[in-house]
Amino acid sequence: MQRELTNEMTLFSDNVIANRVTLGARKYITKTELKTQADVTHNIYQAMRQDKVRVILKVMDKGPRNYRQATYDLSEAFIMHRLRHPLIAELLDYYVSDSFATYLEIKPYTTTLNAFVDERAWKLTHAEAASVMFQMLKALQFVHSQNVIHGDIKLSNIALELLAEDDPLAEKLGMRYRVRLIDFGVSLIAAYPAAFYDDGRLLNSITYRPPEILLATTATQAVDVWAAGIVLVNLFMDYTSSNKMQIGSMTRQDQLEMINIFAGPFDYPYESSQAKRLKITRPTLPHVDVVSYFSAVPDDFAVLMQKLLIAKPDQRISAEGALLDLLFTDLYDRDIFP
């Protein structure tokens, strides 16, 4: 009896996928793999649809393929679908192929912040740097208000859209690029501050990872605020890439030691069994302070940086609060994307 029921349920689920979700792989007029700066391939393509619309195709076809995996991979689409906003990449469509590969069609943007900063050799004007930070925090304020943690804020996940020469928005923004947040691939729903267990689905690239994630304690929206602080540092110096030599071998402990230098200590039971399992001990390098550690960050950005890079997540400012920084007074008054 029990077994029959299970079979029926399985059949039913398969039919749901077959009849309602699977549309079959679509044909594109052209489809070429997108090579990003680091020449890493991500299963990302530039494609032209039959209706001549250009799209970025994000394909997920790795791992065991079945409807469960497809549903899991579609969480990125479901989250993006909910996050319609002028500073967030626009999801055009999504579908699942017969072999359970999932496809996201996203509007293509001009460049990404890492390429832009690199081209300009870390010499952005203060107006540009302030505008990028303001727009990113404004996007995060919206994401967080929808109970979502982006989870992977970094230069290469911030797309930039070049505005038309006569677009009045350019003057309001103080630059010709509009920020578009991309890559909700590891985003989480944060309906309540849940205890975070290290289940191998770590948030953020290592150099953008806050202490609470390194220590596997809690994941809240404050995770993105910390990463926004590291983005700020990276607008003025090649911080993540100066650590690249070590990134392959960089451990939780290395990163904790570094954070302890610029952000100070974090309450944590370093004697616990969890600490042993995570292979971490109390950091020993002395606390200096964030302003002298990142001396390449100009004075007018230092106050904001200090508010973003606070070790304790419950003392870290919110995205909304950060928007009130004096640095943004002019931008704030222009009522951009209220």
Distance CA 222, CA 309 (A): 10
Among ligand ATP, Mg ion, none, partner that 210 touches (CB below 5 to 8 angstroms by kind): none
**Pick from Mg ion, ligand ATP, none: which does 175 bind, CB < 5 to 8 A by kind?**
none
Distance CA 18, CA 14 (A): 6
Tokens of 269: 């039971």
For ligand ATP, the closer CB: 150 or 307: 150
Q: Which of 10, 30, 36, 281 binds ligand ATP (CB under 6 A)?
A: 36
Task: Give the per-residue SS3 of 94-162.
Answer: EEECCCCCEEEEECCCCEEHHHHHHHCCCCCCHHHHHHHHHHHHHHHHHHHHCCEECCCCCHHHEEEEE
Q: Interface with ligand ATP includes 89 (CB under 6 A)?
A: yes
Partner touching 56 among Mg ion, ligand ATP, none, CB below 5 to 8 Å by kind: ligand ATP
Of the pair 57, 225, the CB lying nearest ligand ATP is at 57
Q: Does 114 bind Mg ion (CB under 5 A)?
A: no
**CA separation, residue 243 to residues 93, 215, 239, 338 (Å):** 37, 20, 7, 37
Measured distance CA(228)–CA(239) in Å, rounded: 13
Rounded CA-CA distance 259/266 in Å is 10
Beta strand pairing call for 91-96 and 177-181? unpaired
* Contact flag: residue 202 with ligand ATP (CB under 6 A): no
Tokens of 56: 């970025």
Q: Do residues 228 and 136 touch, judged by C-beta distance below 8 A?
A: yes
Per the structure block, which two tokens stand in for 103?
């496809």
Rounded Cα–Cα distance for residues 308 and 320 (Å) = 12
Question: Is residue 49 within the footprint of ligand ATP (CB under 6 A)?
Answer: no
For residue 221, the minimal CB distance to ligand ATP (Å) is 19
- Residue 108 site contact among ligand ATP, Mg ion, none (CB < 5 to 8 Å, cut-off depends on kind): ligand ATP
CB of 202 to ligand ATP, least distance (A): 12
For residues 163 and 302, which CB has a smaller minimum distance to ligand ATP in the complex?
A: 163
Q: Is 185 in the site for ligand ATP (CB under 6 A)?
A: yes
255 is a site residue for Mg ion (CB under 5 A):
no
Q: Which of 47, 49, 56, 323 binds ligand ATP (CB under 6 A)?
A: 56
Residue 202 contact among ligand ATP, Mg ion, none, beta carbon within 5 to 8 Å by kind: none
Residue 157 interacts with ligand ATP (CB under 6 A): yes or no: yes
Among 73, 183, 212, 224, binds Mg ion (CB under 5 A): 183
- Residue nearest Mg ion, CB atom distance: 183
